[in-house]
Structure 1
Amino acid sequence: MTKFLLAVHVLAAIVAIGPVTVAASMFPPAARQALATPEDPRAVQTVLLLLRICRVYAVVGVAVPVFGLATAKNMGVLGDTWLIVSIALTALAAVVLVALVLPRQTAIAEALDEERPVGQGGDERATTVRLAMFTGVFNVLWAAVTVLMIVRPGSTTGA
């Protein structure tokens, strides 16, 4: 059962978290392009598509910690420090995505859809730069979790 849970956990991470990190990273430059050329419907459609990808895969991404916790329970490692740190980093990544990335993406997409300025005083560049920073933080948190999952201090795999 542990192997099955681990396989689903890893597949969920690849299938769900991968698209979110890529789409979220592509969003700020796509938004800058769309804001620079609002008359280009393809640029606006790209931003809307990237937002949809981020939203959908963020929901699907809930499977990653669910199966991760089930795997950890079966392996008897729920109290291990590396896992507790991974859980904390995963929770922090979720907060960054839900509280900082998705709302800013939504605001930019809505502004594009309504053809109105983005940010305070129309400072579109600063808005997309801040979004890129929060996206980078989200991606670094997931990278740290991935490293912890592979290295697993105290592991008996010899890694």
Structure 2
Amino acid sequence: MTKFLLSLHVLAAVLAIGPVTVAASMFPRALRRAHSDPGDRDALTTLRMPHRICRVYAAIGIAVPVFGFATASSLGVLGSPWLIASIVLTAAAAGLLVLRILPAQDTALTAAPSGNSGSGPRTSARLAMLTGLFNLLWATVTVLMIVRPGSTTGA
């Protein structure tokens, strides 16, 4: 059962978190393009797509910690420091996505059709920074999941 849960956890991470990290990273560039030519309908469509991917896959991403907790419980490692650190970093990444990145994308999408380019570069830069932090948090969690400090597997 543990191998099955671990497989589901890894698949959920790859299939849910991967698209969010890529789409969130694409959004600032698409925002700069939309602000550089406010009349370009393709730029606006391109801007909507990564935001939609982020929203949908963020909801699907709930499966990652659910399967992660089930796997950790099955392995008996719920109290391990590396797992607790991963849980905290995962919560931070989720909070960053839900509380900062998605609302900023919503605001940018609302402002983009109006051609309000005054805050476009600043918003784009802030979103790029937040997305970079989000991606760094997930990269750290991934490393912790693989290396597992104190593991007796020899990895």
* Length-normalised TM-score, structure 2: 0.97
Alignment partners' CA distance in 2, 1:128 and 1:99: 17
Which residue type is aligned with residue 4 of structure 1?
Answer: F
Alignment partners' CA distance in 2, 1:15 and 1:38: 33
Kindly provide the CA deviation profile for residues 92-134 of structure 1, in whole angstroms up to 9, marking residues without a partner as x. Answer: 0011101110000111111124x1526xxx2221111011101
The aligned residue for residue 48 of structure 2 is: 48
The aligned residue for residue 141 of structure 1 is: 137
Contact 2:31 2:120 (C-alpha < 8 Å) held by counterparts: no
> Larger relative CO (CA 8 A, sep 6+): 1 or 2?
2
Kindly provide the CA deviation profile for residues 27-66 of structure 1, in whole angstroms up to 9, marking residues without a partner as x. Answer: 0011000111121111100110110000000000010000
The aligned residue for residue 125 of structure 1 is: 121
Q: Percent identity of the aligned residues? A: 62
Number of residue equivalences: 155
Runs of 4+ in 1 over 3 A off after TM superposition: none
The aligned residue for residue 18 of structure 2 is: 18
Contact 2:38 2:115 (C-alpha < 8 Å) held by counterparts: no
Q: Is there any run of 5+ residues in structure 2 with no aligned partner, and where?
A: none
Q: Is there any run of 5+ residues in structure 1 with no aligned partner, and where?
A: none
> Is the aligned partner of 1:38 residue 2:38?
yes
Question: Secondary structure of 1:141's partner?
Answer: helix
Which residue type is aligned with residue 54 of structure 1?
Answer: C
Equivalent residue runs for 1:1-159 within 5 Å? 1-113=1-113, 115-117=114-116, 122-159=118-155
* Length-normalised TM-score, structure 1: 0.95
Question: Secondary structure of 1:79's partner?
Answer: coil
CA RMSD of aligned residues (A): 0.9
